[in-house]
Structure 1
Amino acid sequence: MGKRSLQDKVLILLSWGLVLMCSAAEQDYFPHSNTSTWDEARTHCQVCFKELVTVTPQNIQNIQNLSQNLTSDYWVGLRKYFYCTGNRSISWSRWANGDPLIFQNWYPGSPRFKSFPNSYCCSCSCSCTNPAMTTPGKTSFTTFTSFTTSGVRNTTDMSSFTDITNFTTSGVRNTTDMSSFTDMSSFTDITNQTVTDFNRLSDATTQNTPPATTPRMPVEAECVQSPTLSPLVSETDVNYIEDSCVAMLSFGAWVEKKCSELLPYVCYDDRFLGQVNVTNKTTESAFLTWQPGPGNISHYRIEVKVDNNLTQFTTYNLTHDLVNLTAGTGYSVQVFPVKCGRELNPQKVTFYTEPNKVENLLVINVTKTSVSLMWDKPVGNLDFYLIKVQDGQQIRSDTQSKEVNSLIPGNLYTFTVHSVVNDTLSEGYNTSKYTKPGKVLELKACENNLNSVLLRWKQPDGGFTGFVGKATYGNKCTVASASSK
């Protein structure tokens, strides 16, 4: 896989940053004054919070505000190396929670590198005009052949020799140090036990007697002083830490420290935002359910508040059945997940129990167009009463009685009365009643005879089921009925 260019890396970091900006949860920060190693601090943060604090462009302002209250160096969730699948990752690449490092705030001089190069400097050295003679008075050797008058004895590598051996016809005699020789004019030939020219020795390897040679003077190298540049040599930084961890200074900048140092630290946790649901509400009970808190939740503490009274419960479950409640009453509930003795943000809900239904509903008056009702207030609380009429009317009442108007004469109506609290209706209490029918119109008597009289009239508005006629003579009353046909 080819190496990425700097531009590619910047684009990748920007992409990671955009993902973080879109998905970052709201966070809370928790400084700890007790000192721990970096690993111990991280373990505690993972168990009781989420992680050691992570610094991003989104939370830098919160971190800066937090650092103003810090009085020393604090561990944060950044380490030079993290290990995955057995291979060391790139240094300073990810936070402890796995987020990529897209923001840095190093103190000047940090982070430190393992070594740094010396700068070039000028020096004077000897530059030789004769490349074959690098040192005055010395000859560079490749091989040396030892021999006698009878022929070749052996060959010795002379590439590292600094002295020369004197020979006789019988072999090697002694060794004389040549390191201080500058003049070889006193040497004659090999028969005088002195070697004068080693460039001709190779010819002697094929003869029985050493050849006679003419003395040759060594050529001295001519040296010229000239400025040169010294090589680039790296020096190890004595303050370098191979696997360092990051501490945040009290003013927010970062420095490297040994991970084994004991420092206070800052943990963070995503702000928990859950919700409580209420089901099966009755006049005196309700069933609660809520979402599980993050991490190692030991238990849940429930607060139930009504007016100025507070009741508390503890549970290890995600449900709770509230009982012995008051009808028509508003309750405020908070459920706190408890993690390492610390209460997370509570899940909240408010609700009302159902009000009790009214009692003793009575019809106290009826007219052709109205019916008057009266009832007793139920036990518990309520906001008002709602009267539902069969014809679709809904009438509000703030008292325990109400006249229902705009009815049609002679019709049967069913009236249902509810107690209401916070738009929650109680069970209804109902009664039925006819309104009075209307009066007949244009009543006339006709076809009179000795024993009867025929009455005619116009039917009234509204409903009716029949007619009743009364004839009175003196103290006598005669009643006659007729159908509606």
Structure 2
Amino acid sequence: FTEPSPVLDLKAEYVGVTSVNLTWVVNDSASDPYTYRIQFVNDTSVKNLTSSDRKAEITELIPGTMYNFTVFAVAADNETEGEGSSIDLYTKPSPVLDLKAEYVGVTSVNLTWVVNDSASDLYTYRIQIVNDTSVKNLTSSDRKAEITELIPGTMYNFTVFAVAADNETEGEGVSTGLYTKPSPVLDLKAEYVGVTSVNLTWSVDRAASDLYTYRIQFVNDTSVKNLTSSDRKAEITELIPGTMYNFTVFAVAADNETEGEGVSTGLYTSKSQFL
């Protein structure tokens, strides 16, 4: 038997986490009875499989790992092989696990995640940061990232992609959505202090503040109460005359959960003229 010609146009139609689909072309007139030996090699093993078609699905690969795939055309005697044609590629890394925010601040967020792949010592990570108006990316060589220069009180979607050692082959992204904390309110003051009521006002200086609500906590020696305002002012009623109160105002983001740092003022209600 004459030696088959090398296969042509060897390429990966699909690259997954643990599998790769290869295709190729053969122009030899005698190629109908050919079979094909596919050799796949990484740093620790050499394996072979046989295909009777001009394609092969190679499974049980290691995630995020460099493989060399070589395809040999084999003549009808099942012995005479042509010269091999090769392609190098990385399998995709597995998705990261347990993505969470260790810290959420006003303009920064600290993310952490876990990776179990055996090849992960060589991974880097792309973190995509998206809000309503922008898409940004940063790269981390560790399983954590501090994302800075964020807008206070704003919804962000953070997606982390593991990247193999070729700095190109990415795993599927894993996402978490959260709000940064609003900035503290400014210029908190009592516009009016009465016998049983107090009118408070404050200001905010950030772009996202149109969507904020405000929690007002008012505390005396015997009770802690809260009320919510959708405006930058609040009338607090049913107070005890001549009593010291501490009023703390928290800006709350549009998720109605994420609160900024509280700003406080202490004052006495007026004494009743009838006492």
Of the three residues 396, 409, 431, the one matched with 2:139 is 396
**What's the offset of the Cα at 1:366?**
1.0
In the alignment, the residues of structure 2 paired with residue 380 and residue 287 of structure 1 have an alpha-carbon distance, to the nearest angstrom, of 22
Could you tell me which residue of structure 2 aligns to residue 336 of structure 1? 72
1:452 aligns with 2:188: no
**What's the offset of the Cα at 1:334?**
1.0
1:319 aligns with 2:64: no
The unaligned stretches of length 5 or more in structure 1 are: 1-46, 50-268
Secondary structure at 2:60's aligned position in 1? Answer: coil
Of the three residues 170, 186, 190, the one matched with 1:441 is 186
In the alignment, the residues of structure 2 paired with residue 443 and residue 415 of structure 1 have an alpha-carbon distance, to the nearest angstrom, of 34
Q: Which amino acid in 1 is paired with 2:49?
A: F
In the alignment, the residues of structure 1 paired with residue 227 and residue 69 of structure 2 have an alpha-carbon distance, to the nearest angstrom, of 69
In the alignment, the residues of structure 2 paired with residue 333 and residue 478 of structure 1 have an alpha-carbon distance, to the nearest angstrom, of 69
In the alignment, the residues of structure 2 paired with residue 471 and residue 377 of structure 1 have an alpha-carbon distance, to the nearest angstrom, of 46
Cα gap change, 1:389/1:321 in structure 2, threshold over 3 Å: closer, same or farther?
same
Could you tell me which residue of structure 2 aligns to residue 187 of structure 1? none
1:75-474 alignment to 2 at 5 Å?
272=6, 274-292=8-26, 294-297=28-31, 298-339=34-75, 341-382=79-120, 383-391=123-131, 392-421=135-164, 422=166, 423-464=168-209, 465-474=212-221
Could you tell me which residue of structure 2 aligns to residue 137 of structure 1? none
Cα gap change, 1:351/1:388 in structure 2, threshold over 3 Å: closer, same or farther?
same
**What's the offset of the Cα at 1:300?**
2.4
In the alignment, the residues of structure 2 paired with residue 316 and residue 366 of structure 1 have an alpha-carbon distance, to the nearest angstrom, of 56
- Asked if the contact 2:17–2:94 (Cα under 8 Å) also holds between the matched residues in 1, the reply is yes
Question: How many pairs were matched up?
Answer: 219
Could you tell me which residue of structure 2 aligns to residue 48 of structure 1? 2
When normalised by structure 1's length, the TM-score is 0.42
1:483 aligns with 2:230: yes
Q: Deviations over 1:86-125 (max 9, x none)?
A: xxxxxxxxxxxxxxxxxxxxxxxxxxxxxxxxxxxxxxxx
Q: Deviations over 1:160-186 (max 9, x none)?
A: xxxxxxxxxxxxxxxxxxxxxxxxxxx
Cα gap change, 1:318/1:273 in structure 2, threshold over 3 Å: closer, same or farther?
closer
Could you tell me which residue of structure 2 aligns to residue 172 of structure 1? none
Could you tell me which residue of structure 1 aligns to residue 246 of structure 2? none
- Asked if the contact 1:363–1:373 (Cα under 8 Å) also holds between the matched residues in 2, the reply is yes
**What's the offset of the Cα at 1:361?**
1.2
Secondary structure at 1:287's aligned position in 2? Answer: strand
Secondary structure at 1:450's aligned position in 2? Answer: coil
Q: Which amino acid in 2 is paired with 1:329?
A: T
As a proportion of its length, which structure holds more helix?
Answer: 1
**What's the offset of the Cα at 1:461?**
1.7
In the alignment, the residues of structure 1 paired with residue 103 and residue 124 of structure 2 have an alpha-carbon distance, to the nearest angstrom, of 22
Q: Deviations over 1:239-281 (max 9, x none)?
A: xxxxxxxxxxxxxxxxxxxxxxxxxxxxxx9x74723121232
In the alignment, the residues of structure 2 paired with residue 305 and residue 364 of structure 1 have an alpha-carbon distance, to the nearest angstrom, of 40
Q: Which has the larger radius of gyration?
A: 1
Q: Which amino acid in 1 is paired with 2:173?
A: G
In the alignment, the residues of structure 1 paired with residue 218 and residue 45 of structure 2 have an alpha-carbon distance, to the nearest angstrom, of 72
Q: Which amino acid in 1 is paired with 2:158?
A: F
- Asked if the contact 1:384–1:420 (Cα under 8 Å) also holds between the matched residues in 2, the reply is yes
**What's the offset of the Cα at 1:473?**
3.3
Cα gap change, 1:273/1:287 in structure 2, threshold over 3 Å: closer, same or farther?
closer
Secondary structure at 1:463's aligned position in 2? Answer: helix
Q: Deviations over 1:405-460 (max 9, x none)?
A: 11111112221111112312212221122111111112221222212122122123
Moved over 6 A (4+): none
**What's the offset of the Cα at 1:378?**
3.0
**What's the offset of the Cα at 1:478?**
4.2
- Asked if the contact 2:7–2:73 (Cα under 8 Å) also holds between the matched residues in 1, the reply is no
The unaligned stretches of length 5 or more in structure 2 are: 233-275
Measured on the aligned residues, the alpha-carbon RMSD in Å equals 2.4
- Asked if the contact 1:359–1:375 (Cα under 8 Å) also holds between the matched residues in 2, the reply is yes
Could you tell me which residue of structure 1 aligns to residue 255 of structure 2? none
**What's the offset of the Cα at 1:472?**
3.2
